[in-house]
Structure formats: C-alpha cells, structure tokens
Structure 1
Amino acid sequence: MWRQTDAAGPETGATALEYIFIASIISIAAMVGMAAIGGKLENYFESFANAFN
C-alpha cells in the first residue's frame, strides 16, 4: 500500500547537531572578542583607578 509523505521529507528543521555547531561558532567568536578587548579594558580601568590615588 502506498503512503503519502510530507513533500519536504524527513529532513526538515534544524537538528541538534546544527544547533551545537551554531552555538560553538558564537562562543568562539565571543571568546576571541573578549580576548581582544580585555587588555584594553584592563588598561583603561587601571588608569581610572590610578587617578584616584
């Protein structure tokens, strides 16, 4: 007997693996951004704190 299935097939929507891949790219980008800005912020706050000494 023939069964009618969804035209898109069983591979519709994102799988957990795709969500993990997207989350890992976002977290790597966040770490790189924080590492790049971290030293500049440290220097800024040190100079700000030294202004009060």
Structure 2
Amino acid sequence: MPQQLFRLDSNEGQLVAGPSEEFRRLGVSIRTGQRVLVRRASLDPGRGVILGHARG
C-alpha cells in the first residue's frame, strides 16, 4: 500500500494503519507476518496507528 500504510488483520476484522511518528523517526522496519500493537482511530474504526512490535 502507498505511503507506508499496512493492511492488518485483527480479531475484529481488517484495518489500515501507518507507523506512528516515533516509530518512523526511529527507523524501525515492519515486515509481513510480524505482530504489532495498534491504536484504532476513534472516528474511523477501519484505520489506526502502529505503536510498536508485539512481544511474545
């Protein structure tokens, strides 16, 4: 997807999310199949922000 947007699968369905500013600033890469922490947007539940890598 364009501009560092990722399509994610969650328990509640699919959503589109991009990395947070801190995640982008640190230059952390996200690969296919990795588990990530996501904060859903309050006004659009189909969008969100990737906050970091999930542990475990």
TM-score by length of 2: 0.13
Pick the structure with greater CA Rg. Answer: 1
User: Relative to total residues, which structure has the larger helix share, 1 or 2?
Assistant: 1
* Higher relative contact order structure (alpha carbons within 8 Å, sequence separation ≥ 6): 2
